[in-house]
Amino acid sequence: MLPTYNEAENIAEILKRVRAAVPHAGVLVVDDSSPDGTADIARAMATEVGDVEILSRPRKSGLGSAYRDGFKWGRQREFDVLVEMDSDFSHDPADIPRLLQGVEDGADLVIGSRYVPGGEIPHWPWHRRGLSKLGNRYSPAMLRLTLRDLTAGYRTYTGEMIDRIDLDAVRAEGYGFQVEMTYFVAQAGGRIVEVPIKFVDRVRGTSKMSSTIVVEAMALVTWWGIRDRVLRRSRPG
């Protein structure tokens, strides 16, 4: 699944690389009516690379809702494994087979992680690196999870695990969506593993990251952590 908004500069090449990495996979582009014609390019590329579908949404509605719609689309068509990734080359399509191998080895969720041994985030400025590391230390501590990269957006889920999650109850966007999905998988008893990836900044196009997304994620994590501690103390016995 490739969520897009104004990715006309990237979508053709990313689809070629995805097809080279996984020749027999179905590909879904979830496009929020990009005014730059991203969806039209994706449709044209479908003829060249094969088995590409476009889910067009009427307006820009956020990353989390794009993935929720993509998960529902995939499960309605009985895909057993669902991979989510960025469309801007931050995630290398060549890593998809390694994420799929994690599912083959028994994981319910495989996270492409920047912070396990072998993971890399080259050329990041110190302030962005610091903010990311802070978020990925704070979130596991608040949610009592032994993971290093909860905010990572390069992931593979089993269809069975997606079915066990109430997607309509997952309300966050941006980084918060990734953390919330991880939390839901853990609450459902799913097995989560992390595999190292090299994450790079986009080369072309404009970043969708904003301070609002960061604030939303930290506020939600804080609320979930406090809520669970209060509920745990209030349970009898």
User: Which has more pLDDT, 217 or 121?
Assistant: 121
The Cα 102–Cα 100 span in angstroms is: 5
- Average predicted confidence (pLDDT) for the chain: 88
Angle, CA 141 vertex, CA 139 and CA 142 arms, to 5°: 65
Report pLDDT digits (tens) over 36-86: 999 999 999 999 999 999 999 999 988 999 999 999 999 999 999 999 999
Q: Which of 3, 154, 150, 149 is nearest to 68 (CA)?
A: 3
Torsion, Cα of 5, 46, 99, 162 (10° steps): 70
Q: Using an 8 Å Cβ cutoff, are 151 and 145 in contact?
A: no
Where does 23-147 show beta strands of DSSP type E? 27-31, 52-56, 81-84, 109-113
pTM: 0.87
